């Protein structure tokens, strides 16, 4: 039975769609088959050609039930559901069917207050810092805000996904050839830490291991409260 990951949250603009595609791309780079499941009725499905993952259109409740049911019946796949924003009823429904819930948030007090409420609403969920700054001063300020506002839930905060302009390439209707290396590195890092929570090994059956951080990836690993990150937690 394939696990289902749902990326939800009350606030819009936190990067749920981008993270859904980053995560699926990362799974593909690790040799794991996955499907990016669209539920946001304000968006159109992207072309599957050239991607390392499948695209599934589940913008109606009936379609979502069919897609999730099919994924559950398949072996060695992962379903990543893009939940969309500002849909509290949909979020509760997706939480009920998910094996793991991710709550993205950006480095603003409004995002932090919203994700705090969502963490309290969804006790099995993990908060995921999204589009995190790479500038050392900005990152330090962002990490301090996380420690101050989300400190009580520090064991449920995943490692940040850094702000990366190349991430929008995955949201193009047709994904271009030759995606940049730094995008691949960010996708792998995200997929690995989610795989650790789900206890999914890589394609060769070995446990996921984090590569040595370089460049922008190294910048993202420097945080104020690293002991609070839950990348090695078990769901």
pLDDT reading at 154 higher than 60: yes
Give the pLDDT band (50/70/90) at residue 1.
confident
- The kind and range of the H/E element at 81 are strand 77-82
Encode pLDDT of 76-115 as tens digits.
999 999 998 788 999 999 999 999 999 999 999 999 999 9
Give the pLDDT band (50/70/90) at residue 64.
very high
Least confident of 40-44, 162-166, 193-197: 40-44
- Rounded mean pLDDT, 25-44: 95
Beta carbons within 8 Å of 53's beta carbon, 6+ residues apart? 24, 25, 27, 28, 33, 34, 35, 36
pLDDT reading at 143 higher than 50: yes
Higher per-residue pLDDT: 133 or 209: 133
Question: How much is the pLDDT for 44?
Answer: 92
| Residue 3: CB atoms within 10 Å | 21
CA distance 57 to 43: 10
Q: What is the CATH number of domain 4-228?
A: 3.40.50.300
pLDDT reading at 34 higher than 90: yes
pLDDT reading at 184 higher than 80: yes
Encode pLDDT of 200-227 as tens digits.
766 544 444 433 333 333 333 333 333 4
- The ranges assigned to domains in the chain are 4-228
Higher per-residue pLDDT: 205 or 27: 27
pLDDT reading at 31 higher than 70: yes
Give helix 109-121 / helix 136-150 axis angle, nearest 10°. 40
pTM equals: 0.86
- Rounded mean pLDDT, 54-83: 96
Give the pLDDT band (50/70/90) at residue 229.
very low
- The helix/strand/coil state of 117 is helix
CA distance 60 to 45: 13
């Amino acid at each position: 039975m394939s696990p289902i990951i749902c990326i939800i949250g009350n606030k819009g603009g936190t990067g749920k769609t981008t993270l859904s595609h980053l995560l699926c791309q990362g799974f593909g780079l690790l040799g794991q088959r996955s499907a990016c499941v669209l539920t946001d009725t304000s968006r159109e499905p992207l072309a599957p050609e050239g991607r390392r993952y499948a695209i599934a259109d589940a913008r109606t409740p009936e379609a979502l039930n069919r897609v999730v049911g099919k994924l559950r019946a398949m072996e060695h796949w992962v379903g990543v559901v893009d939940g969309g924003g500002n849909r509290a009823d949909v979020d509760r429904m997706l939480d009920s069917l998910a094996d793991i819930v991710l709550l993205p948030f950006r480095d603003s007090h409004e995002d932090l207050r919203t994700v705090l409420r969502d963490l309290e609403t969804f006790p099995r969920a993990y908060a995921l810092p999204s589009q995190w700054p790479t500038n050392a001063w900005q990152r330090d300020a962002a990490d301090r805000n996380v420690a101050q506002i989300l400190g009580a839930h520090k064991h449920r905060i995943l490692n940040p996904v850094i702000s990366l302009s190349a991430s929008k390439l995955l949201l193009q209707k047709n994904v271009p050839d030759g995606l940049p290396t730094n995008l691949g590195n960010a996708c792998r890092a995200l997929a690995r830490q989610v795989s650790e929570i789900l206890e999914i090994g890589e394609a060769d059956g070995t446990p996921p291991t984090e590569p040595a951080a370089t460049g922008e990836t190294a910048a993202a690993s420097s945080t104020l409260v690293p002991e609070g990150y839950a990348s090695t937690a078990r769901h």
